Amino acid sequence: MKNKHQIRINPETCIGCGLCRKDCPAGNIRIKDKKAKVITQDCIMCGHCVAICPKAAVSMTGFEEPPEEIEKPSALDPGELLRAIKTRRSIRQFTKRRVEPELIAQIIEAGRLTPTGGNAQNVSFIVLNDRLESAEKLAVGLFRRLLPLMKLVNPIARRMSIDDHFFFKKAPAAIVIVAPSQVDGALAAANMELMAEACGLGVLYSGFFSMAANWSRPLRRLLGLKRKERAVTTLVLGYSAVNYRRTAQKEKASVRQL
């Protein structure tokens, strides 16, 4: 990713204010002769220098989209955001209504824009629509073979049955999040879940399907996963067939003030 891009500073518009130098996490900019200079192109390409420049003198090459001007910082209402988090539920009953492609695109956009460690930007997404049933069938076959062993060590597994819709609960779509880092993949999934909720969709994290995707060679081939690629998590998406009337109770947070 980094090799495709270069940082450029226009000396005609740079005023040498030093904001880019102060904000650069890699210490990759210096001020010389009252102008900002890039020390090396070997940096994380985080774009802070582009974002903070008051004169738009800094640019980065190789991206398909230009940076957007921010007239005023966007502000989420804290109470509304907390309420959305508090009232969300994992959905396991879905209607037959298909999820519109534009909503899928918006959910993926939320994942794409999520920060990654070192600005790696190496989280990718596999959307399951037409091949959803085929993928689930392979995963179901694997888990049915493993269930007797699981029952020996896991009390929950002893009460478990693997039906044909064990993973996706008859939902019309799912997105597999693929990333080298579990943290990066999970952060993207969390933002995608919030976007899905904002779009009026129900969401279920299918950790079992992600396990199957990492274990089963036939399923990996169907998903197009390369040898070193790992499914971090899977978001099952659809319109909820149920309405919850109250929040679920949670234990109080364990907090240490140091």
pTM over 0.85: yes
Burial class, 34, CB count within 10 angstroms (exposed 0-12 / middle 13-18 / buried 19+) = exposed
All structural domains of the chain with their residue ranges: 2-60, 78-238
CA separation for the pair 59, 48 (Å, rounded): 10
CATH number for region 78-238: 3.40.109.10
**Which amino acid type is present at position 217?**
R
Note the pLDDT of residue 76: 87
Q: Mind listing the pLDDT tens digit for each residue in 121-143? A: 999 999 999 999 999 999 999 99
CATH number for region 2-60: 3.30.70.20
CA separation for the pair 72, 65 (Å, rounded): 20
pLDDT at 116 over 60: yes
User: Which tokens belong to 15?
Assistant: 């005023």
Contacts with 63 (C-beta within 8 Å, 6 or more apart), sequence order: 5
Length of the chain: 258
Distance of CA 253 to the CA centre of its chain: 25
Mean pLDDT of 235-257: 97
Specify whether the CB–CB gap between 217 and 68 falls below 8 A.
no
